[in-house]
Copies of this chain bind each other. A is one copy, B any other.
Amino acid sequence: MTAPVPVAMSATLAADEEFARRRLAGERVLFLATGEIGLPVLPELGEQLARAAHRNAYGPVAGTAQLREAAAGYWGRRGLVTDAADVVCGPGSKPLLFALLMAVGGDVVVPVPSWVSYAAHARLAGLRPIPVPIRPGQGGVPDPAGLRAQVLEARAHGRNPRAVIVTLPDNPTGTIAGPETVRELAQVARELDLVVISDEIYGDLVFTAGHRAVSPAWFAPERTVVTTGLTKNLAVGGWRLGVARLPAGAAGSALRARLVSIASQIWSSAAAPVQAAAAYALAEPPEVLDRVAASRRLHERVARKVAEVFVAAGAELAPVQATCYLYPDFEPLRHGLSRVHGVNGADDLARLLSTRYGVALLPGTAFGEGGRSLRIRAATSRLYGESDAERSAALAARDPLALPWIKAAVDRATEVLTDLTAPIRSAR
């Protein structure tokens, strides 16, 4: 007897839509709930899309040769030599990740915490997500020892885990798992014959060159699929374009063929004009590199500043190394939060911040944390301005924190967190 699949609306997209409604209603909201990048389209990139408006054919399911070659070059410049034949394009890395899980076809280990959609993808595909906590500060990579233990236990119970997802750099923690953790992960994946799906969409948003994420494709090239897109580095999430790099070799080819078959049935191809613009972007001409660098600097300034605000309020926070996310833990304030505010978990905390203060962010439960955890995720990428003019000014500013609208947001965050935690801290 078949039954509807269990599914909930994407927590981030639901938050986006709620924010739009509240703003329309005239409410003042400090929106830290989702990582949509609030920056304008690079003009040269927009021109490429406009010039490709006449492209109306589906083209190959895996994407045009031009796009796949550009993607291969993009990875090659990052030390992952890639054959264009091993690249598959899709309308966002999100559908690619979903289809990859279907193509692999077994249960999948997901880090805790991790992005809202991995576990949902597994359930939609009729698979079981197996949660494995990260090591502290090693966001996006399940603790390799925990991975081994959970996979062996699942197999002992007759389940068939076949993949592990990692996020490098990480959403929601804004950290980057170190090379040693990644190497161990890759080793365990090889030992247990798991496919590694490495979501590297934040790869270009690492603040310090020395911290660059090391892909598991370095350590287990025969079994690692890497995905990325233009959503984060170039702020064109609404264009819907992702690319996947499949492993070379026989197993990789077989997986690629399955992925392309599934893609052919679910979405046919990514929008042809967008593919043309993406080929331009992934070739990384100077103006694209400049834009990515400018947005990276902006993310760093604002994310680190807001991180300071949370730390000053008494939350614990692993140093933010990339992305536009912070993942503060209010555990040190647990007793006071409970006593003063009746807050006993992240859901309570997020609700209080939203209703009392108009501050929107997501509770750790959205990322797979247990209900008692006091971790929340704050995204700072929507603070850059309301208009394209403000956003362009934020990109160009030597000191974006001095811009009135960004300063106002940071001040408001400070005010709210002070109001929330001062009574707790003074009573300690």
Contact = CB atoms under 8 A, between A and B. Distances in A.
A272 B40 contact: no
Contact of A53 (B46, B98, B117, B270): B46
A127 interface: yes
Interface string A3-16: 11101111001101
Interface string A51-84: 1011111111100000000000000000000000
A9 B273 contact: no
A2 B106 contact: yes
A54 B159 contact: no
A337 interface: no
Contacts of A273: 49, 238-239, 273-274
Contact of A258 (B7, B257, B272): B7
A368 interface: no
Nearest to A47: B53
Please state the number of chain copies in the assembly: 2
A95 B271 CA distance: 13
A195 to B, nearest CB: 11
Contacts of A235: 56
Contacts of A47: 53
A262 B58 contact: no
Nearest to A94: B268
Contacts of A371: none
A160 interface: yes
A92 interface: yes
Most buried by B among A16, A17, A273, A274: A273
A2 B58 contact: no
Interface in A293-325: none
Contact of A269 (B4, B40, B238, B260): B238
A240 B13 contact: no
A55 B238 contact: yes
A80 B237 CA distance: 33
A124 interface: yes
A107 interface: yes
Interface string A220-245: 00000000000000011111100000
A264 B13 contact: yes
A271 B239 contact: yes
Contact of A10 (B51, B257, B268, B388): B268
Most buried by B among A2, A46, A260: A2
Nearest to A9: B261
Contact of A103 (B4, B158, B236, B266): B4
Contacts of A59: 238
A86 interface: no
24 contacts: A1-B159, A2-B126, A2-B128, A3-B160, A4-B102, A4-B103, A5-B102, A7-B258, A7-B262, A7-B265, A9-B264, A36-B58, A41-B54, A41-B56, A49-B53, A49-B273, A54-B388, A94-B267, A98-B265, A124-B266, A238-B269, A240-B269, A267-B267, A273-B273
